[in-house]
Structure 1
Amino acid sequence: MWETVRAASAGMQLTDDIAWATLTSGSSGSPRIVLRSASSWAESFEAVAGYLGAGPDDAVLLPAPPAASLTLFSLAHALGGGPRPLLGVASNSDAHCLHGTPQALRAVLDAGAPSRLRAALVGGSPLDPALRERAEAAGIRVTAYYGAAELSFVAVDEGDGLRAFPGAELSIRAGELWVRSPFIASGYAGADGPWRRDGAWATVGDRAELVDGRLRLLGRADDAILSASATIVPEEVEAVLRSVPGVRDAIVFGMPRAPVGALVAAFVELDGDAATELRRAAVARLAPAHRPRRWFAGHLPRTASGKPARAEAARRALAGEVSRLDV
């Protein structure tokens, strides 16, 4: 990775405080290299330790590979007095807490959670409320968070909705979420990305609403599906599909189709036969324009950190590499 960083940053004027280079998830395309100072992560160590309920004498389970930004953060945290990292294992009896994606938490529960595991810090993709309930029934306190490699921690949800992460300020400008915090990265090495700055504020282009201190994410503006006269936010449809029993995960995307622009399509990862329930949920809970017209089923491709690889999932479906589902 360092060879890639050096090549990408050739000719750049790097400041002396640059300490870390990490990758974006690549869920919407090729990963980008993000540069950040040591303090941009260290400033959040105290809050993260509180959510994990863990210190240097405890161990944190890190199922994602070291190149994943959430794993690299936890390694930096360990160097700064955080819990001892346990790398690359789905379950480990020494783990007191977990930092990973919802998929990683599900895998740990499926394998039989370690008896010592008491807390999970989960990010990277939306947390299914049923998964939170399952973990808490096993004695694991779950804190979900929203963030980005460029912004680090932005908001946390301890069960009552997303609120600003300690030390972060949130603002909505023309429907776009902007963040001011000491956790923001220094920039990219090489190719540009969605990250933009305005003084101390930064954004990665996520659309959101902020009501009474609670943050509601509406997805990226460039992910929206334009179908006839309707604008469909994939994340809103995905939330409905993920709530259906038997659906492990879901990605919604647009299939180009003249003259309407695009058809709404869904790629679902299932446990058993959920086609009937998917149909009922789509009819009962989605407006007609938001209901998927094409369905695909299979194992969703994932990034190194375990997030659904949105762009690759759509490519495989459009290329006919996954099975059609009759819903």
Structure 2
Amino acid sequence: MIHPILDDNAADALVALLAVREAGGVPLVGDSRWSTQYWSAVSSHAKAECVGGDKAWASFSSGSSGAPRVILRSASSWQVSFAAVTDLLALTADDVVYVPAPLASSLTLFSVAHSRSVGASILLPSRPSSSAEHLTRATVVHTTPQSLRAIVEVIEGGAPHSMRVALVGGDHLDHALRRRCAALGIRVIGYYGAAELSFVAVDDDGLGLRPFPGVQTRIVGGELWARSAYLASGYLEDGGGPFRVDGEGWGTVGDRAENDASGRLMLRGRIDGAILTSSATVIPDEVEAALRSIDGIDDAAVFGLPNERTGALVAALVQFSPGSSRPSTARLREQAAARLPLTHIPRRWFWTEDMPRTSTGKAARSQIRLCALEKKARRLD
């Protein structure tokens, strides 16, 4: 049976979900930032559904390209990866694992289950944050690039810390952030995965992604497939969803990828997130990577807006670095033109001081696009 739990208090929610697991139930943690109406509808639906006897965990997909879906998985689908993660982190019972993401995130739920298996302590802030108090207690952090960047800024500002390693997933991880961490004595282990697939590939040397221990990968028609014992059982809801598993146990969530010259994986974004404009297919991740390389831009989210003549216009929401001046759209287009083909340059530009994000730290493209369509987003002149 599924037991919905709202994470309005991390400590209480953690106690509740552990009690549910001890009793053989399936906890489903909701994000307290959701509206009351949405959570009520989701939790009522979940409680009414029957799940198989081997199900132990329920979590939400990130929802970066649509509404979050409830993902079901067995206890063993996470347990069989514990040894590999423990080895990567050199985790012991003396460690304190800090997870600043909400408890509703599958990333956090995995860390709770994994840390308990080793006997390590788990540190969950009452609100997603990077306070100095947390950093002096934690020895390991499992987080997203965006959250790690905030942690690094706190430490570079003079806060003491005891962290030795960061396990980082959820979005792009740039080399500059790795170098900043290395200067602070923090080893960075990046990985690619999905709530449905769990771990797929790991980058523990800064040279690129290779298959995670116990995982086979293959690329078919530009789409990345993985086969392992870590795959989820499927969605609670019937029909739809990007997660597919074929008859041979290969699973995918529709992410595009290719291999570089050394055989390392290079991710190219979700197939269903492609923007079809005129005769071009634009992959948002590729444009976002180019925009982030422009001085003064901290982050960017790229999405399509409907257009009668071209099918869609490429649009971008950019978040500028603190203290930087806001450039004109003409200047941004000039900078983008030096990095992108003509078809990929954003035709509509918006700006924000705080990028809307999913619980895993990814830019919430659906929410951002809706704001632009409803004219609630701030246009750049």
SS in 2 for 1:275: coil
- State whether structure 2 residue 140 is matched by structure 1 residue 100: no
Query: Shift of the alpha carbon at 1:130?
Result: 1.8
**What's the counterpart of residue 2 of structure 1?**
3
Query: Shift of the alpha carbon at 1:160?
Result: 0.5
Structure 2 gaps, min length 5: 5-41
**What's the counterpart of residue 361 of structure 2?**
306
1:146-185 deviations in whole A, cap 9, x for unaligned?
A: 1110000111123101111111100111221111011100
Query: Aligned to 2:193, which of 136, 144, 147?
Result: 147
Query: Shift of the alpha carbon at 1:223?
Result: 0.9
User: Normalising by the residue count of structure 1, what TM-score does the alignment of the two structures yield?
Assistant: 0.93
Work out the CA distance in 1 between the residues paired with 2:221 and 2:358: 31
Query: Aligned to 2:76, which of 19, 30, 39?
Result: 39
Query: Shift of the alpha carbon at 1:232?
Result: 0.8
**Structure 1 residues 51 and 228, CA gap change in structure 2 (3 angstroms):** same
Query: Aligned to 2:339, which of 285, 304, 307?
Result: 285
Q: How is 1:98-247 mapped onto 2 (pairs within 5 angstroms)?
A: 98-112=141-155, 114-158=160-204, 159-192=206-239, 193-199=241-247, 200-211=249-260, 212-247=262-297
1:288-324 deviations in whole A, cap 9, x for unaligned?
A: 1111111110021112233211110111122221211
Work out the CA distance in 2 between the residues paired with 1:324 and 1:77: 44
**Structure 1 residues 107 and 191, CA gap change in structure 2 (3 angstroms):** farther
Query: Shift of the alpha carbon at 1:82?
Result: 5.3
Aligned residues: 325
Work out the CA distance in 2 between the residues paired with 1:114 and 1:163: 33
**What's the counterpart of residue 373 of structure 2?**
318
Query: Shift of the alpha carbon at 1:243?
Result: 2.0
Query: Shift of the alpha carbon at 1:11?
Result: 5.5
* Contact residue 192 and residue 201 of structure 2 kept, 8 A: yes
* Contact residue 22 and residue 69 of structure 1 kept, 8 A: yes
SS in 1 for 2:118: coil
Q: Residue type of the partner of 1:224?
A: A
Work out the CA distance in 2 between the residues paired with 1:314 and 1:300: 12
Work out the CA distance in 1 between the residues paired with 2:104 and 2:210: 28
Percent identity over the alignment is: 54
Pick 1 or 2: higher relative contact order, CA cutoff 8 A, min separation 6.
1
1:112-135 deviations in whole A, cap 9, x for unaligned?
A: 264211111111111122222222
* Contact residue 240 and residue 281 of structure 1 kept, 8 A: no
Q: How is 1:79-94 mapped onto 2 (pairs within 5 angstroms)?
A: 79-81=116-118, 83-88=120-125, 89-91=129-131, 92=134, 93-94=136-137
Work out the CA distance in 1 between the residues paired with 2:65 and 2:283: 15
**Structure 1 residues 82 and 318, CA gap change in structure 2 (3 angstroms):** farther
Q: Residue type of the partner of 2:220?
A: R
* Contact residue 34 and residue 149 of structure 1 kept, 8 A: yes
* Contact residue 150 and residue 187 of structure 1 kept, 8 A: yes
Work out the CA distance in 2 between the residues paired with 1:42 and 1:5: 26
SS in 2 for 1:183: coil
**Structure 1 residues 166 and 19, CA gap change in structure 2 (3 angstroms):** same
SS in 2 for 1:15: coil
Q: Name which of structure 1's ranges 34-43 and 87-96 shifts more when overlaid on structure 2.
A: 87-96
Q: Residue type of the partner of 2:371?
A: R
Q: Residue type of the partner of 2:200?
A: V
**Structure 1 residues 183 and 9, CA gap change in structure 2 (3 angstroms):** farther
Query: Shift of the alpha carbon at 1:44?
Result: 1.4
Work out the CA distance in 1 between the residues paired with 2:108 and 2:148: 14
Work out the CA distance in 2 between the residues paired with 1:273 and 1:160: 34
Work out the CA distance in 2 between the residues paired with 1:281 and 1:45: 44
Query: Shift of the alpha carbon at 1:285?
Result: 1.2
C-alpha RMSD over aligned residues: 1.9
Query: Aligned to 1:16, which of 53, 62, 67?
Result: 53
Work out the CA distance in 1 between the residues paired with 2:90 and 2:300: 31
* Contact residue 23 and residue 31 of structure 1 kept, 8 A: yes
* Contact residue 91 and residue 118 of structure 2 kept, 8 A: no
